[in-house]
């Protein structure tokens, strides 16, 4: 049985460590741990050389996703964020097949034709993620956005961040049911509320893995998925390998049942 592609978002290793070591230092760890893809984080870049990272990633047989914190739609503007062109170019320079951005302020007045034009000029596929904001972290704007994407036949998929729905008190189960067919990438993270009331990402418990299994039933079989929660310990290789294995198994229950 083919295992679904598993990525690691490099933010999982902690911003300080990633900036200190450089993102390229994690390529060998991910490859040895059995990951298929690496998610570069624009906000954690320091002195990295894109071509060098692209070459090193290819040499290890890994693919990559480029994550930018930019919002696709800016408030009060009908055209897509002008930074999108630069972000697509940077993703391509890093050898990435996908660019992940946030939705931003989507309204019915946004110019999808202008977006289509920008995307036609790049080989990179756009992934649009639910973030933790009021305007970009709720189900309804994504329903309207992807209805428009379908209408214009745009090559855009959704990054479904399981944990981020908590920030706007949205149901991940409802989101998966309503948006699952658009999903091309799943960001996995469990969420806990600290004593001070702040929500934080945490590694999954068995109950979280069970929930994720249910959510993936609404998505394409073998959908790409990533760890985006703390991977911190003395042996990063051992830790990463265990979580890659856990994420790769998600959805296999359904496949095994289908072949039973």
Mean pLDDT of 176-204: 97
pLDDT tens-place string over residues 51-90:
999 999 999 999 999 999 999 999 999 999 999 999 999 9
| pLDDT level of residue 1 (50, 70, 90 thresholds) | low
Query: In a 10 Å sphere around its CB, with 0-12 CB exposed, 13-18 middle and 19+ buried, how is residue 255 labelled?
Result: middle
Q: What is the gyration radius of the CA atoms in the chain, in angstroms? A: 18
Q: Is the pLDDT of residue 257 over 50?
A: no
- The three-point CA angle 197-195-165 to 5° equals 40
**Beta carbons within 8 Å of 151's beta carbon, 6+ residues apart:** 112
- 141 Rama sector, left if φ>0, alpha if ψ -120 to 50, beta otherwise: alpha
Q: What is the mean pLDDT of the chain?
A: 95
The neighbouring-strand residues paired with 192 are: 200
Specify the pairing of strand 125-129 against strand 156-161: parallel
Please tell me the total number of residues recorded for the chain in this structure.
260
Percent of the chain with pLDDT over 70: 96
**Which helix (DSSP H) or strand (DSSP E) does residue 101 occupy?**
strand 98-104
226 pLDDT exceeds 80? Answer: yes
Distance CA 7, CA 4 (A): 10
Please give the Cα distance from 126 to 132 (Å, whole number).
19
What confidence tier does 170 reach under pLDDT thresholds 50, 70, 90? very high
Q: How confident is the model at residue 191 (pLDDT cuts 50, 70, 90)?
A: very high
Residue 145 token pair: 């956005």
pLDDT the model gives residue 260: 43
pLDDT for the residue numbered 2: 79
pLDDT score of 200: 97
Enter the tokens of residue 136.
Answer: 């970009």
Sketch out the chain's domains with CATH numbers: 6-259 (3.20.20.150)
Residue-level pLDDT at 259: 43
Q: Where do runs of H (alpha helix) occur along the chain?
A: 15-21, 27-32, 50-59, 83-93, 112-120, 139-151, 172-179, 206-216, 236-249, 252-259
- Nearest-angstrom CA–CA distance, 257 and 234: 38
């Amino acid at each position: 049985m083919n295992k679904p592609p598993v990525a690691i978002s490099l933010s999982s290793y902690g911003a300080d460590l990633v900036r200190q070591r450089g993102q390229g230092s994690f390529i060998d760890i991910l490859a040895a741990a059995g990951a298929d893809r690496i998610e570069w984080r624009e906000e954690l870049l320091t002195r990295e050389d894109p071509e060098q990272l692209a070459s090193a990633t290819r040499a290890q047989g890994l693919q990559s996703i480029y994550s930018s914190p930019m919002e696709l739609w800016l408030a009060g503007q009908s055209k897509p964020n002008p930074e999108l062109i630069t972000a697509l170019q940077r993703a391509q320079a890093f050898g990435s097949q996908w660019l992940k951005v946030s939705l931003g302020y989507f309204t019915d007045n946004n110019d999808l034709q202008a977006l289509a034009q920008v995307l036609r000029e790049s080989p990179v596929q756009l992934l649009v993620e639910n973030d933790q904001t009021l305007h970009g972290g709720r189900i309804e704007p994504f329903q309207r956005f992807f209805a428009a994407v379908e209408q214009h036949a745009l090559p855009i998929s959704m990054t479904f961040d399981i944990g981020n729905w908590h920030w706007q008190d949205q149901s991940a189960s409802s989101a998966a049911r309503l948006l699952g067919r658009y999903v091309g990438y799943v960001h996995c993270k469990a969420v806990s509320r600290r004593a001070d009331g702040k929500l934080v990402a945490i590694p999954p418990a068995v109950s979280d893995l069970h929930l994720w299994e249910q959510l993936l039933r609404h998505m394409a079989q073998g959908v790409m998925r990533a760890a985006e929660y703390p991977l911190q310990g003395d042996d990063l290789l051992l830790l990463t390998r265990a979580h890659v294995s856990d994420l790769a198994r998600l959805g296999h229950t359904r496949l095994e049942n289908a072949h039973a």
